[in-house]
Amino acid sequence: MRCDVSSPEDVALLSRAVADLGGASIVIHNAAIFPIGPYEQITFAEWRHVCPSTLDSMLLLAEAFLPSMREQRWGRIVAISSAMVHAGSPGALHYVASKGGIIGLIRSLAREIGPYGVTINGIAPGLIRSHGTSQAVHDEMNLFETSIGVQAIKRTGQPEDLTGALSYLVSDEAGFVTGQTWVVDGGYV
């Protein structure tokens, strides 16, 4: 179903629809908006558009799905952050700040939900070739070539590069791993 994850009303509808299907024990948060531009040109309205889509949506999803996970005493939440949090990035101030907030939320929430058998972790990918990053602006700025130039692994990251870490973090084997954010960036950071 379509859902604006920055809208409390939409997330509540999503939560009810998922509950009607039996509930969720695994939630993957991968929402973000990635406008590019110098910090002097970022308006407060744009900041308030980027941050809710990334950070507020993570909180809303946690609030919506954690009660049933706590009740069943098992659950996995994985949030996608960004390796840019560790390196910084010109032209992406609001994006990087909101993704950094995700890491803080993961660390703090892990301490609260851990006693219930629920883990929360993150993955901080480098630049991954995806629908969202295949916009002309990424190519115009040579972001892929620049990333490859400083990565240890000299190729563009693909969505499949995240599946191993993601599969592990949602598994039973990761039951003692929580509050962590794994950088998966080809050795960029």
CA 10/CA 98 separation, integer angstroms:
21
Q: Treating both helix axes as pointing N-terminal to C-terminal, what angle do 8-20 and 57-72 enclose, rounded to 10 degrees?
A: 30
CA 81/CA 181 separation, integer angstroms:
8
Strand, helix or coil for residue 169: helix
CA 125/CA 1 separation, integer angstroms:
26
Among this protein's residues, is 39 annotated catalytic?
A: no
Q: Which residues contact 111 (CB under 8 A, 6 or more apart)?
A: 179
Residue with tokens 């908006």: 33
Choice among 95, 116, 168, 188 that is catalytic: 95
Q: Which residues are catalytic?
A: 95
